[in-house]
Amino acid sequence: MAEYSVLMEKEGRIHVIEVTDATVKHKGLGVINTAALLDGMSIGDEVLVGQKYLTIMPSNLPELISGMARRAQTISSKDAGFFISKLGIGVGDTVLEAGLGSGGLSLHLAKVLGNSGCLVTTEPRDEHAEVGLLNLERAEDCFEEFPKHIHLEGLVEDVVPDMEFDAIILDMPVHAPAITACSPNLKFGGRIACYAPTTSQLESCWKACEESGLTVEWAGELMERQWGLTSKGGMRPVNGPFGHTAFLIVAQRR
Ligand X SMILES: C[S@@+](CC[C@H](N)C(=O)[O-])C[C@H]1O[C@@H](n2cnc3c(N)ncnc32)[C@H](O)[C@@H]1O
**List of residues contacting ligand X (CB under 6 A):** 72-75, 98-99, 101-105, 122-125, 128, 155-157, 171-173, 178
Considering the complex, state which of residue 38 and residue 195 has its C-beta at the smaller distance from ligand X: 195
Considering the complex, state which of residue 38 and residue 155 has its C-beta at the smaller distance from ligand X: 155
* Closest CB 155 distance from ligand X, rounded Å: 4
Considering the complex, state which of residue 54 and residue 109 has its C-beta at the smaller distance from ligand X: 109
Sort strands 235-237 and 227-229 into parallel, antiparallel or unpaired: antiparallel
* Closest CB 150 distance from ligand X, rounded Å: 14
227 CB neighbour count, 10 Å cutoff = 9
* Closest CB 83 distance from ligand X, rounded Å: 10
Which of 95, 14, 18 lies closest to 61, judged by CA? 14
Considering the complex, state which of residue 98 and residue 133 has its C-beta at the smaller distance from ligand X: 98
* Closest CB 154 distance from ligand X, rounded Å: 7
CA distances 253 to 89, 99, 250, Å, are 15, 21, 10
* Closest CB 1 distance from ligand X, rounded Å: 22
Considering the complex, state which of residue 56 and residue 110 has its C-beta at the smaller distance from ligand X: 110
Question: Which long-range contacts (C-beta less than 8 Å, at least 24 apart) are formed by 238-246?
Answer: 244/197, 245/75, 245/76, 245/78, 245/79, 245/197, 245/221, 246/75, 246/79, 246/171, 246/195, 246/196, 246/197, 246/221
